[in-house]
Amino acid sequence: MRLTIAVGAALLLLAGCEQKRAPLPQAAAPAEAGSAADISAGRAKYGSFCAGCHGPKAEGIAHYPKLAGQTEAMLAAKLAAFRSGQKVGDKSASMIPIARMLTETEVRQVARYLSSLK
């Protein structure tokens, strides 16, 4: 009886450890791989579609804002705002139709690429 309890407790402990450890490598690996693919897809999209206004390195030109180095969350939020027709700055009218041409996947890719720039 005691043995059963001891074995049961040991199994529970093991199970507890597994649960704590397991998600880490599983969550990290696909995200890393996805990021690299997203960044390269985002770079291509940016170069063909956005660089003309925001600059080849997203450094900003005249009244076209600098995008390089903004966080992924911030860029995605601004693009989502444009896509829903909300104003971000006083020149949003030119960005709204552009943002609406992007798919959600492209928004993520471009935001990941731009946030990877310094």
Give me the residues that bind ligand HEC (CB under 6 A), please: 49-50, 52-54, 63-65, 67, 75, 78-79, 87-92, 94-95, 98, 102, 110
* Nearer to ligand HEC (CB atom), residue 39 or residue 50: 50
Count of alpha carbons within 13 angstroms of residue 107, beta-carbon side: 18
Report, in Å, the least distance between residue 91 CB and ligand HEC. 3
* Nearer to ligand HEC (CB atom), residue 39 or residue 102: 102
- Among 76, 83, 80, residue whose Cα is nearest residue 108: 76
Report, in Å, the least distance between residue 59 CB and ligand HEC. 13
* Nearer to ligand HEC (CB atom), residue 35 or residue 61: 61
Report, in Å, the least distance between residue 33 CB and ligand HEC. 23
What's the Cα-to-Cα distance from 14 to each of 25, 62, 81, rounded to whole Å? 18, 60, 47
* Nearer to ligand HEC (CB atom), residue 43 or residue 78: 78
In DSSP notation, 6-68 reads HHHHHHHHHHHHHHHHTHHHHHHHHHHHHHHHHHHHHHHHHHHHTHHHH-TTS--BTTBPP-T
Q: Which residue is nearest to ligand HEC (CB)?
A: 89
Report, in Å, the least distance between residue 34 CB and ligand HEC. 19
